[in-house]
């Protein structure tokens, strides 16, 4: 039996203290911060991310930094300054690079961002012993538009990723209408949701959050 209520919820694209307070008040355990070196909405500069991560530490919420840096030195500098609990690398770093990060930041969790157009199972297999979590995004961000893949297009990739026995969070266009479908098709460790839980000011909306949590708590599926 698959229980929807056992699926973790990570809220990404956090840009305000108000969102962190709302998350804390509703027992959300993981929040994501998108570096402004990324394409896509709701990004922050390093100074703001550092301050928001300090607030997460106060509430004992896991902070996940999503970064697009392509060089190991840039990434190390950013991690050292912002001090996230988890880094989600948006570019492929080889085993040597990831080993270096592990040695420098011994408590840091390493996540790998994955999307349908950059999927490379052999690469993921080669670094899986260094990785704590995979973040699979149904969205592919370009300079001018966002391309969203359906879960039916991606479920085989996600299932093959599950053979590595690492937690997988699935995100990209997920809301209260399709969350159960995503879970049913992929059985992930968690959902990674952003815009569908925000208000017009990009604050985490308690009403939308509770609606999703209620839907997930209400059902059990085969």
pLDDT at residue 103 tops 50 = yes
Q: Which of 125, 75, 134, 68 is nearest to 105 (CA)?
A: 75
- At residue 219 the predicted structure's pLDDT band, cuts being 50, 70 and 90, is low
What pLDDT score does 4 carry? 61
Give the per-residue pLDDT at 82. Answer: 98
CATH topology of domain 2-217: TIM Barrel (3.20.20)
- Inform me whether the pLDDT recorded for 5 exceeds 50: yes
CA distance 91 to 36: 15
Mean pLDDT across 203-217 = 92
Q: Assess whether pLDDT exceeds 80 at residue 39.
A: no
* 32-41, 55-64, 75-84, 113-122: least confidently modelled range: 32-41
Contacts of 23 (CB under 8 A, 6+ apart): 11, 14, 31, 59, 61, 204
Q: Characterize the bridge pairing of strands 2-3 and 220-221.
A: antiparallel
The pLDDT of residue 221 is 46
pLDDT at 206 over 50: yes
CA proximity to 134, closest of 168, 89, 99, 87:
168
Helix (H) or strand (E) holding 123: helix 121-127
Mean pLDDT of 98-115: 96
Torsion angle of the four alpha carbons 101, 103, 109, 110, in this order, in degrees rounded to the nearest 10: 30
Contact 204, 15 (CB under 8 A): no
Does the pLDDT at position 155 exceed 90? yes
The top-scoring range by mean pLDDT among 38-42, 52-56, 93-97 is: 52-56
Average of per-residue pLDDT values in the chain: 91
Assign 97 a pLDDT band (cuts: 50, 70, 90). very high
For the chain, the domains span 2-217
């Amino acid at each position: 039996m698959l229980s929807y209520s056992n699926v973790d919820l990570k809220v990404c694209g956090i840009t305000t203290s108000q969102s962190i307070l709302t998350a804390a008040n509703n027992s959300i355990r993981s929040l994501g911060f998108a570096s402004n070196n990324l394409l896509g909405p709701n990004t922050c500069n390093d100074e703001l991310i550092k301050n928001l991560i300090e607030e997460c530490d106060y509430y004992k919420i896991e902070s996940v930094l999503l970064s697009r840096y392509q060089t190991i030195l840039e990434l190390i500098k950013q991690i050292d300054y912002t001090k996230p609990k988890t880094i989600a690398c948006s570019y492929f770093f080889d085993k040597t690079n990831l080993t270096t990060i592990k040695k420098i930041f011994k408590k840091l969790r390493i996540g790998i961002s994955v999307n349908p157009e950059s999927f490379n199972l052999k690469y993921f297999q080669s670094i899986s012993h260094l990785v704590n979590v995979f973040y699979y995004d149904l969205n592919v961000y370009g300079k001018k538009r966002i391309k969203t893949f359906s879960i039916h297009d991606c479920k085989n990739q996600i299932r093959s990723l599950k053979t590595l026995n690492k937690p997988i969070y699935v995100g990209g266009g997920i809301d209260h209408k399709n969350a159960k479908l995503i879970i049913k098709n992929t059985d992930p460790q968690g959902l990674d949701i952003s815009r569908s839980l925000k208000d017009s000011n990009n604050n985490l909306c308690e009403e939308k959050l509770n609606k999703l949590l209620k839907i997930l708590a209400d059902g059990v599926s085969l």
